[in-house]
Structure 1
Amino acid sequence: MNVWEATQRRLERIFRDFDNIVLAFSGGKDSGVMVNATLDFMRAHGITRKITVLHLDYEGQYAATTDYVTEVMTSNRDLIDPVWICLPFAAACEVSMYQSYWKPWNPEERDIWVRDLPDAPGVIHTGNVPEDFPEYDGVWDYTVQEKIGAWLHRRSGAERTAVLVGIRTQESMHRHAALYRQDRTDASMLEGLNWTSRKGRGVYNVYPIFDWVTEDIWTANARFGWSYNTLYDLFHLAGVSIHDMRVASPFRGEGQEALKLYRVIEPETWAKLVGRVNGANFAAIYGGTAAMGAKDIKLPEGHTWKTYANFLLDMIEDEEIKQGYLRKLKSSMRYWTVKGGALPEESAEELRGDAPEGTEFLGEPKDNRKRRGPYEVIRFRHYPDDIPAVSDLSLIPTYKRLVITILRCDHACKYMGFGQTKREVTKRSQAVEKYREIL
């Protein structure tokens, strides 16, 4: 069975087992293929009940993306109900030392919006928010999407809602681990299907194309003549590899490399982006250089990586951002010096020849996590300053890795292997709500 045939079987199961379908659509290649595959499946099988197409609009984006989203959200109205979110949720900002997030469509910043509100069916903005709509102001984007999924479930009166999300495990180890972790319970999935994830009572995220690779996406577009975001054509002309093309918020870490392309592809949009978020121009100019932790970063004279990290932390005026880095550092130190962390076997072998005194090599991991290839558990006596022998700096817990993380404005510390925790999401949401009550 190839991935196309497997996806057809998953769609058959989805439409059989769920009485409400919501499709999360970003305007990128993966969600675009998912929209087209789903609509083709519906027409081929005579399915006439509508699905909801949900789009979170990040305001600052290429015109080609807006055009494609508009095309999808206004076409096939016999099969889709559009829900187009233009609200001031919190979006990650990794181009600034001064803010960890920004708010698209913030009404208090209307004079510097990158573009006007879209004029299309299904648009929800601060002027027409439904009475029972979930909290959104300053709430993280992924949390908002989950809350809206639950809201759409309640509004539909359905017994079971599927939220189709176009993620592929090829894109990252985090995505691969999320679906293949051996400690997942049956209660967290629908009837043991690893491409489903229970998000709440009656609500499941489902991943119909999780096993596709990038080449599958473009093969499907060509074979079936599907429409797609023409921004990818412009990326191709600019020499960007198909594996590096991203349609993401320009201020996210994933979008920094493409940020500089705005100046060439859409100069007018670029001029507005520079005025929208502090640090955008700096990130575009220096995003691929040592100034932002890329390539061959040099240690300033008279510093160790630890003292340089402390210097950078002292330069951060925002206490919340500074404490965020310190919490992640403390967690990393506790993990690697007490419990021990797992390294790929080839990195462990590199480490053996240059390991700090007291480093312990504890053999294969004893947990049930499914990993790609053999790993070995390593425990350090002291948190290392730097270990040049290991080629992948992001895998080794060092103060140099922390320096790179800070220079990249990587507030979530993804370079250090962290993801945003539920505690952080909840804490921010509670803080926003408390502040609103005070006002």
Structure 2
Amino acid sequence: MSLHKFPLVQNVLEASRERIRWTLENFPRVCVSFSGGKDSTLMLHLTAQLARESGKKISVLFIDWEAQFSCTIAHCERLHDYYSDVIDTFYWVALPLTTQNSLSQFTPEWQCWEPGVEWVRQPPEYAITTHSFFPFYKQGMTFEVFVQEFAEWFSQKRPAAVMVGIRADESYNRFLSIASRRKHRFSDDKPWTTLAPGAHAWYIYPIYDWKTADIWTWFAKSHQPYNPLYNLMFQAGVPPRYMRICEPFGPEQRQGLWLYHVLEPERWGLMCERVSGVHSGGVYAGQDSKFYGHRQLIKPDNHTWKSYALFLLDSMPQKTAEHYRNKIAVYLHWYQKKGMMDIPDTQPGDIGSKDIPSWRRICKVLLNNDYWCRMLSFSPNKPGHYQRYNERIKNKRKEWNILCNSE
């Protein structure tokens, strides 16, 4: 099935306002998912302004990752006050959440606000730090599970909207989030809606068709506040397409680690103490670095991509290697069931955003420290099920005769 983009007769600003008005009129509860970045800031401005015009109230969800720039926290606090008249509840979440640490093979996950350790900074007084605040919360749950559970909890078992500021122009996967016809939409004429997993809340993507230039044009014309970190990034020579504001240790996000060293050396020192691999990430994770295989993959001349993948697995800490072997075995078995007894060593386009199977793609996952194997179409495991899942797949590997060892 081919997917296409079709131009609208409206400009993106008019279309987004129309979508937000429809959301405010049709859902009794509306929450804006906010990160402090340019996209979610724009979405919050548009939603809050239209809520103010219509006399509505909205909620805001902000996940505080502990290790964040001071500019970002100050910007979020400013908007917390800026729209206090229309924000019913500002859910500033500072709870222990588990996410990927793509800087280390020894500790490939980290937990923000982890109990019993020295934090990079303290959360604001109004942040949610009590574990019992959300009835669904479990210590160390992943961000992905948290936001899904939050949407269902927020809905109160009635129709509700969670507004998400993703744009189809950002990546192929985000384009599919909007364009895929497998998604359950509110109606056929509203492709910018998706039913959340709990079946009561709807994800709304009001700015899905904006481009980066549209975002900055709106800020320039409206003179509304945006995160001043973008100005510092620009002064530091970061191209606009690489300006990202989110948790700092993922495969994409780690490329901006060096900015902490330049802009906030004291916070940088605390981050190096707090999370394994941060210092080496700051040195080797730059945009043009080949260290993590981000832009370009290079293998030794005496290896095929398959033998190189097996070599990389054998060179890892045992626990991490077994985690990857399990994921790779499931991946290979899935293609075996489709008649592919072994995936090709390489294929055209196999290291892009679309999942085209090859051993070179597996090498990119391993070099990238993509612990959750998103490039192989996996999602994070739920912590409570992970050990049981690991043991089951380890036994299945023997049954499938896919051990992923070099011997």
What TM-score comes out, normalization by structure 1 length? 0.78
Matches within 5 A, 1:9-408: 9-43=18-52, 45-47=53-55, 49-80=56-87, 81-109=89-117, 111=118, 113-119=119-125, 121=126, 123-126=127-130, 129-130=132-133, 133-154=135-156, 159-184=158-183, 188-192=184-188, 193-199=190-196, 200-288=198-286, 289-294=289-294, 296-300=296-300, 302-319=302-319, 321-334=320-333, 339=338, 382-386=342-346, 390=348, 393-394=351-352, 396-408=356-368
Distance 2:345 2:304 in 1: 7
Displacement of 1:325 in angstroms is 2.2
Judged with a 3 Å threshold, the aligned counterparts in structure 2 of structure 1 residues 238 and 392 are, in CA distance, closer, same or farther, namely farther
Do 2:344 and 2:359's aligned partners in 1 also have CA atoms closer than 8 Å? Answer: yes
Query: Which consecutive unaligned segments of at least 5 residues does structure 2 have?
Result: 1-9, 389-407
Do 1:87 and 1:136's aligned partners in 2 also have CA atoms closer than 8 Å? Answer: no
User: Which whole-Å deviations, capped at 9, do the CAs of 1:34-75 have from their partners, x for residues lacking one?
Assistant: 1101111123x331x321111110000111001111111233
Work out the number of aligned pairs and report it. Answer: 373
Judged with a 3 Å threshold, the aligned counterparts in structure 2 of structure 1 residues 159 and 403 are, in CA distance, closer, same or farther, namely closer
Distance 1:189 1:245 in 2: 31
User: Letter of the aligned partner of 1:140 in structure 2?
Assistant: T
User: Which whole-Å deviations, capped at 9, do the CAs of 1:110-151 have from their partners, x for residues lacking one?
Assistant: x2x1111213x3x1103x742x53223121112112212222
The alignment's C-alpha RMSD in Å is 2.5
Displacement of 1:100 in angstroms is 3.0
Do 2:51 and 2:57's aligned partners in 1 also have CA atoms closer than 8 Å? Answer: no
Distance 1:231 1:318 in 2: 40
User: Which whole-Å deviations, capped at 9, do the CAs of 1:79-112 have from their partners, x for residues lacking one?
Assistant: 1121100000112211111233211111221x2x
Residue 112 of structure 2: SS of its match in structure 1?
Answer: coil
Distance 1:204 1:229 in 2: 27
Which residue of the other structure, out of 363, 374, 377, is the alignment partner of 1:418? 377
Residue 135 of structure 1: SS of its match in structure 2?
Answer: coil
Deviating more after overlay: 68-77 vs 220-229:
68-77
Displacement of 1:226 in angstroms is 1.0
Residue 291 of structure 2: SS of its match in structure 1?
Answer: helix
Query: Which consecutive unaligned segments of at least 5 residues does structure 1 have?
Result: 341-379, 434-439
User: Letter of the aligned partner of 2:17 in structure 1?
Assistant: Q
